[in-house]
Amino acid sequence: EPTVTDADLVLGYLNPDYFLGGEMQLDLAGATSAIQRGVAEPLNVSAPEAARGVYEVVNENMANAAGVKAAEKGVDLRDYTLLAFGGAAPAHAWDVARRLYMRRVMVPPAAGVLSALGCLLSPLSFDFVFGYLHELDHVRWDRVNSAYADLERQGRRWLAEAGAGDEIGVHRLADMRYLGQRYEVSFPLPTSGPLGAEHLPAIKETFYEAYRQQYGREIHEVPVEAVSWRLTVVGPRPFAGEWSPRLIGNEGGTSGSGGAGPKGRRPVYFPGAGGYLDCAVYDRRALAPGVRLDGPAIVEDRESTTVVPPDAWADVDELNSLVIELGR
């Protein structure tokens, strides 16, 4: 069956000889055949046109999902930069961003394994939640404080058993809603000490702000209902120094040298251009901070490939992230 990776191969976004840094060979002929049989022939179009359709459909699906989540959170995505990570995202991010009217895409170093890297660099933590459904004005604070104290002791014990040491942080949040609603919003509680009736004004105001941020309004006439109470116990970071690409062996080229030139060229399909364009291909690890690449361009890393479309450019920042500025 044809896959998105097959479509990316047919469009020229991926190099069949450089998947996983060349450790795994991809079958371009097989990918083309799968797209031809599974998509192109039923639609009576060419294989490149079919691959373009696959590419655009998956990008539209991702953009729609992001747009729905942004609307639920009351966020205007035009004010944000799209962070592209994972093995496939850097090849699709520019088109997803344009569909969301976002002007900038950032591709960090080691984008293909960023989640694993984040796991290694993140502190050990434990998340707890306990349910206590009650109108906020009538909450029994002794019950809330007792539950928080028990969970904090348990979290600290687990961190100590894991060798986390004494540098432990505790964060408390609550999930609340207006009485009669089905969905709640989460927000941090205003104190790390025991909670009581004296904290009600601050808790309500924080809830109103969180609700207003998500839904664009607040309703003071309706009682607030507490649903659940959350606690996170966090140990120290396993790596306490400053982040550097050297941690992952990605120092880039020599700063100020302009970076390495293209390592090759290949035809790459861009929907807006109506076909294939001759495209420069760069080695991600040879690019130095300060380098600018004009689109169209392909930037290959071991675990991912970044696509810079026509009418766009990519700058390498001081942490070796690729920052793509999309033209209109």
Distances in Å between the alpha carbon of 34 and those of 3, 8, 12, 16, 87?
Answer: 8, 12, 15, 15, 21
Q: Taking Cα atoms as reference points, which of 256, 267, 265, 262 lies closest to residue 291?
A: 256
Q: What is the pLDDT of residue 272?
A: 84
DSSP state of 78: G
Indicate whether 256 pLDDT > 50.
Answer: no
- Of residues 73 and 284, which shows the higher confidence score? 284
What is the structure's pLDDT at 181?
A: 93
d(CA 234, CA 208): 27
In this predicted structure, the answer to whether residue 218 has a pLDDT above a threshold of 60 is yes
CA atoms of 258 and 255, how far apart (whole Å): 7
Longest dimension (CA), the chain: 70
Buried b (16+ CB within 10 A) or exposed e, 206-230: bbbebbeebeeebeeeeebbbbebb
Q: Which two tokens stand for residue 323?
A: 């920052």
> What string of DSSP letters covers 267-311?
EEEEGGGTEEEEEEEEEGGGPPTT-EEESSEEEE-SS-EEEE-TT
pLDDT (0 to 100) of residue 180: 92
Task: Name the nearest CA neighbour of 305 among 93, 117, 162, 61.
Answer: 93
**pTM for the whole structure:** 0.79
The mean pLDDT value for 209-216 works out to: 89
Q: CA angle, corner 98, sides to 273 and 285, nearest 5? A: 80
Residue 163: the pLDDT is: 85
pLDDT attached to residue 6: 96
| Long-range Cβ pairs for the range 113-119 (8 Å, 24+) | 113/303, 114/85, 114/86, 115/85, 115/86, 117/248
Q: How confident is the model at residue 211 (pLDDT cuts 50, 70, 90)?
A: very high
Which pLDDT value is given to residue 255? 47
The alpha carbon of residue 247 and the mean position of all alpha carbons in its chain are separated, in whole angstroms, by 21
Q: Residues 6 or more apart from 320 whose CB is under 8 A from it?
A: 109, 245, 250, 251, 252, 287, 289
Domains of the chain: 4-116+247-326 (no CATH), 123-234 (3.30.1490)
Summarize pLDDT for 62-86 with one digit per residue, the tens. 999 999 999 888 889 999 999 999 9
Chain centre distance of CA 302: 19
Give pLDDT tens digits for 184-201. Answer: 999 999 877 899 999 999
